[in-house]
Structure 1
Amino acid sequence: MKNIILILVLTLLSFESYAQQQYEVKVITSVESIVPNGLGRSRLISANEQRDYQDFTSTQTDDDNTRNKSKRKDIRVKDFEETKLLNFYNIGGIRFQNIAANDAVIESKINAMLAEGWDLAFVTSAVESDAGDKDGQGIFITRYIFRRPVQN
């Protein structure tokens, strides 16, 4: 009976410390061109600067309209890491070697992040593809969201 109570208390304490765990988050974004003939640009992007979203947020209600005075140029990040990737297409069409090469580069970045103590928490992707004969534009974007415990 004492063992059961001890296990229960230890379990509850571990859940409490887990719930209080704080994390820092890092977002890595891959942008891969799906523009025909290899004309697009593909990159793996990682910001080295931080921004506080509250500096760029305003509140709008029926009674109050609080405008944020910051400008779009204040959001811009000039200190970032840019890794070249290959485009999905070349003159001959889709290039599977380019996709495999991009996978290898992205895998290398993920492995480096894991080695630095980051955990891959979420991955989300989207595509804006060719919308017809006259479009000829498109990107495939993937966001890799990492987290690691904040060191106190």
Structure 2
Amino acid sequence: MKKNFLFIAAIAVGLVSFSFINKENSNEEKTVAQVEYKVVTVVESIVPNGLGRSRMISANEIKDYKEYTTTRSGDKDKDEKNKSKRGDIRIKDYEETKLLNFYNLGGIRFQNIAANDAIMTSKINTMIAEGWEIAFINTGVESVGGKGDNKGIFITRYTFKRSL
């Protein structure tokens, strides 16, 4: 009888201990690190003769995508059309940093690429010092005329994140 009592008491203590551990873990799971994201877009012209424009763009304004979103269900009677205007979506509060074009009258200009790299590095270093870290980098090229065309833009999007 005494052995059974000790055995049951040991199981009870174990279960009580486990329940405390379980509560701590469940609280940890509910606590999610909150982060914010910021996108910096670099648009570099690959138009010959220096005719294009190259810029680094960073929005200072926050927009809620839900204000400009329509949810489609397939049932036209239930779909609510988003009534926002293009002007409502535009942002007027942003940073626009001038960059140099890849090309000038003589062709590709490597000094311009080095200058753009220095400016972009300065922006990245400043954001890192402000507590941001690079989460993603995406690139793309748009060629205006198709295959073999040297007219268009080169876009790089830097997505930064930091803890709130």
TM-score for the superposition, normalised by structure 2 = 0.77
CA-atom RMSD, angstroms?
Answer: 2.3
2:41 to 29, 33, 42: 29
Instruction: Choose from 108, 114, 131 the match for 2:122.
Output: 108
Give the number of equivalent residue pairs. 139
Q: Does 1:68 align with 2:82?
A: yes
Q: Is 1:126–2:131 an aligned residue pair?
A: no
Larger Rg: 2
1:60 Cα deviation (Å)? 1.3
| CA distance 1:19–1:30, shift in 2 (3 Å) | farther
Are 1:96 and 2:110 matched, yes or no? yes
Alpha-carbon distance in structure 2 between the residues aligned to 1:126 and 1:132: 14
Deviation string 1:95-121 (CA, Å, 9 cap, x unpaired) is: 111001100000000000000000111
Could you tell which deviates more after superposition, 111-120 or 19-28? 19-28
1:82 and 2:122 aligned: no
Indicate the larger mover: 47-56 or 17-26: 17-26
Cα deviation for residue 129 of structure 1 reads 2.0
Unaligned runs of 5+ in 1: 1-8
Whole-angstrom distance in 2 between the partners of 1:99 and 1:45: 17
Normalising by structure 1, report the TM-score: 0.83
**Structure 1, residues 14-54: CA drift from partner, whole Å, max 9, x if none?**
xx469710110110000000011000000000011110000
Show the counterpart of 1:143.
157
**In the alignment, residue 107 of structure 2 is paired with which amino acid?**
G
Tell me, which stretches of 5 or more residues in structure 2 are unaligned? 1-20
Higher share in helix: 2
Q: Secondary structure at the match of 1:97?
A: helix
C-alpha change, 1:137 and 1:22, in structure 2 (3 Å) is same
Partner of 1:43: 55
Between the aligned partners of 1:69 and 1:34, the Cα distance in structure 2 is 37
Counterpart AA for 1:114: I
